[in-house]
């Protein structure tokens, strides 16, 4: 598993390549924690290179949902390969985690969501 991270326009981007299993899920957990420290507008996960995800990998995403929601930081996944997306769908996790086809749409989704949150506060 290779994980690359960077900030782009205030959003924390995580790119996954390889297989996300029990041993590599720790790396993803660390990457999400590092992102949270930076207080980004959103966390967007590029899954184009993700070939496999285990229950431990799924658990990492789910384990951060409460904190992300409390901080109003959207977590969005994009560019999932069909077999990986099927895992999310079968488990109903696509109802908890937005899955978008590409980075452009993930960015627009987050901008729209953040705009709604800002209007709700005022």
Under DSSP, the state recorded for 95 is G
Render pLDDT for 102-112 as a digit per residue (tens, 0 to 9).
999 999 999 99
Report the share of the chain in percent with pLDDT over 70: 94
DSSP string, 48-72: EEEEEE-HHHHHHHHHHHHHHHHTT
Structural domain for 43, as ranges: 2-121
Under DSSP, the state recorded for 41 is S
The total number of structural domains that make up the chain? 1
pLDDT tops 80 at residue 67: yes
Burial state string for 84-111 with b = 16 or more CB within 10 A and e = fewer than 16: bbebbeeeebbeebbbbeebeebbebbe
Mean pLDDT of 33-52: 97
pLDDT tops 80 at residue 81: yes
Q: Looking at residue 84, which CATH number applies to its domain? A: 3.30.750.24
pTM: 0.93
């Amino acid at each position: 598993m290779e994980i690359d991270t960077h900030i782009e326009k205030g959003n924390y981007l995580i790119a996954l390549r390889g297989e996300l299993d029990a041993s590599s899920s720790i790396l993803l957990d660390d990457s999400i924690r590092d992102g949270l420290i930076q207080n980004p507008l959103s966390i967007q996960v590029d899954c184009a290179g993700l070939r496999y995800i285990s229950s431990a990998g799924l658990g990492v995403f789910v384990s951060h949902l409460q904190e992300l929601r409390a901080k109003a930081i959207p977590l969005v996944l994009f560019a999932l390969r069909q077999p990986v997306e099927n895992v999310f769908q079968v488990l109903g996790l696509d109802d908890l985690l937005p899955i978008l086809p590409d980075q452009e749409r993930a960015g627009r989704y987050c901008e729209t969501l953040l705009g709604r949150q800002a209007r709700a506060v005022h």
